[in-house]
Amino acid sequence: MINTIDISHYGTVAESIRIEAARILGEGLVTAVVAYTAGRRAGSVQPAIITSAAEAERLTFTAASVNNLAVYLTKAKKDIPRSGRIGIVVKGCDLKALVGLMGESQLQREQLYLIGIPCAGVLASTVRPAEPLTAGNLAPKCRECDAQLPEGCDYVPEIDLPLPTPLESTYAAEIARLEGLTPAERWAYWKEQFAKCIKCYACRQVCPFCFCEQCLCDRNKPQMVDTTPRPAGNTAWHIVRAMHLAGRCAGCAECERVCPMDIPLNLLNRKMAKELKELFDYEAGFAVNEKGPLTMFMEKDDQSFIK
């Protein structure tokens, strides 16, 4: 189980980010760069926005660089995109979110300078950031990664990415287990999971696709979703969240990482993605689509639900 994953190139990647960020800021190509800097704990990182070439030396990239920085370009920090072209460090999974945001008119490609990461994986959120990366402590999303080398970036450090060892997807296994249950058993499982929710909305705040000015769950005229952390409102919220992400979520798994109650949120997202793949042969995050599968009708669409 303890087969170490080769991430020896992350040092070179970090150096390349520092050089490239300094260059593009120095040349005035961008007004800011969204990237990672070292955190307080050994090996840990935190997101950072730098606006001058001098700050570039603070930047880093390690196996703890798990955050999806795309969220900083949306509602959370929505003043950033208005200030000019922005540089951003992206892993393959993060790029998928940006691609989705472009398709939904939230970003334009010309506004961005993409620094792509040849990524061998990041640590699971439960692991100390200084630990060496192994198949055992790899983030679950990385086990099924299909975008180690982000495509179409403006700059990617030239590195021969070590070939990944194929790993079994823990999500697929868990989905298969749940699909094997009866509806009543499955409902019992999710009821238990949703009961844990404290309605902190961390999952919403970290999600790049939750970019609404006002979430419908915060509306009170009429009130669509009960705001208190009680079973009915919790279930409604999680269903709304999963449904709103269907056909959009590409699996950065940030929701699951930040959930203080350890609700397996990405499991719902992966199940929706699986449905979309089976029903419409659609996978989110690979192309800037004008229309997604749920906003268009095609004659070959499955219509077996019409009885």
Partner 1 sequence: MSRIGVFICHCGENISRTVDVERVAAHAAALPGVAYATEYKYMCSDPGQTLLKKAIREQRLTHVVVAACSPRMHERTFRKAVEAAGLNPYLCEMANIREHCSWVHEDREQATVKACDIVGMMVERTKKNRVLPTITVPVTKRSLVIGGGIAGIQAALDIADSGHEVVLVEREPSIGGHMAQLSETFPTLDCSQCIMTPKMVDVANHPKITLYTYSEIELVEGYIGNFQVTVRKRARSVDERTCTGCGVCMTKCPQKKIPNKFDQYIGMRTAIYVPFPQAVPNTPVIDRENCTRFKTGKCGVCQKVCGPGAVDFEQQDTLIVEAVGAIVVATGFDLYSISEKPKGSPIKGYGEFGHGKIPDVIDGMTFERLASASGPTGGKIVRPSDGREPKQIVFIQCIGSRAREKGISYCSKVCCMYTAKHTMLYHHKVHDGQAYVFFMDARTPGKSYDEFWRRSIEEEEAVYIRGMVSRLYQKGDKIVVMGSDIAVGVQVEIEADMVVLATAVQPQQGADLLAQKLGISYDKYNFYSEAHAKLRPVECATAGIFLAGACQGPKDIPETVSQASAAAAKVMTLFSKERLEREPIVARVREVGCVGCFACKKVCAYGAVEEKEIRDRQGNLLRVVASVNPGVCAGCGTCQATCPSKCVELDGYTDEQIVAMIEAL
Torsion of Cα atoms, 78 then 79 then 82 then 87, to 10°: -80
Token readout for 199 is 């309605």
Those residues with Cβ within 8 angstroms of residue 103's Cβ, 6 or more apart along the chain or in another chain: 288, 289, 290, 292
Which of helix, strand or coil describes residue 255?
helix
In this structure, the strands spanning 45-50 and 32-38 are: antiparallel
Burial class (CB in 10 A: 0-12, 13-18, 19+), 242: middle
**Among 114-122, 134-142, 182-190, 219-227, which window interacts with partner 1 (CB under 8 A)?**
219-227
Least distance to partner 1 from the beta carbon of 75, Å? Answer: 7
SS3 content of the chain, % helix, strand, coil (to 5): 40, 10, 50
| 27, 158, 299, 302: which one binds partner 1 (CB under 8 A) | 299
Task: Name 67's Cβ contacts closer than 8 Å, sequence gap at least 6.
Answer: 36, 45, 46, 47, 254
Contact status: 221 vs partner 1 (CB under 8 A) = yes
Q: Which stretch binds partner 1 (CB under 8 A): 43-51, 197-205, 249-257, 295-303?
A: 295-303
Smallest distance, Å, CB 175 to partner 1?
25
The strand pairing partners of 134, in sequence order, are: 4
Residue 165 or 214 having the CB closest to partner 1: 214
By CB under 8 A, tell whether 300 contacts partner 1.
no
Binding characters for partner 1, 89-118, by CB under 8 A (x = yes)? ---------------xxx------------
Q: Does 216 bind partner 1 (CB under 8 A)?
A: yes
- Among 13, 147, 203, 215, interactor with partner 1 by CB under 8 A: 215
Give 79 or 160: the residue with its C-beta nearer to partner 1: 79
H helix runs in the chain, sequence order: 10-26, 79-82, 92-103, 140-143, 170-179, 183-195, 202-206, 231-245, 254-258, 265-280
Q: Is 219 a residue that touches partner 1 (CB under 8 A)?
A: yes
Q: Give residues 154-193 in contact with partner 1 (rule: CB under 8 A).
A: none
Question: By CB under 8 A, what part of segment 233-252 binds partner 1?
Answer: 244
Q: Tell me if 75 contacts partner 1 by CB under 8 A.
A: yes
Q: Which of 160, 155, 117 is nearest to 6 (CA)?
A: 160
DSSP, collapsed to helix, strand or coil, labels residue 38 as strand
Minimum gap (Å) between residue 230 Cβ and partner 1: 18
User: Least distance from C-beta 200 to partner 1, angstroms?
Assistant: 20
51 binds partner 1 (CB under 8 A): no
Q: What is the contact surface with partner 1 in residues (CB under 8 A)?
A: 75, 104-106, 211-216, 219, 221-224, 244, 290-291, 295-296, 299
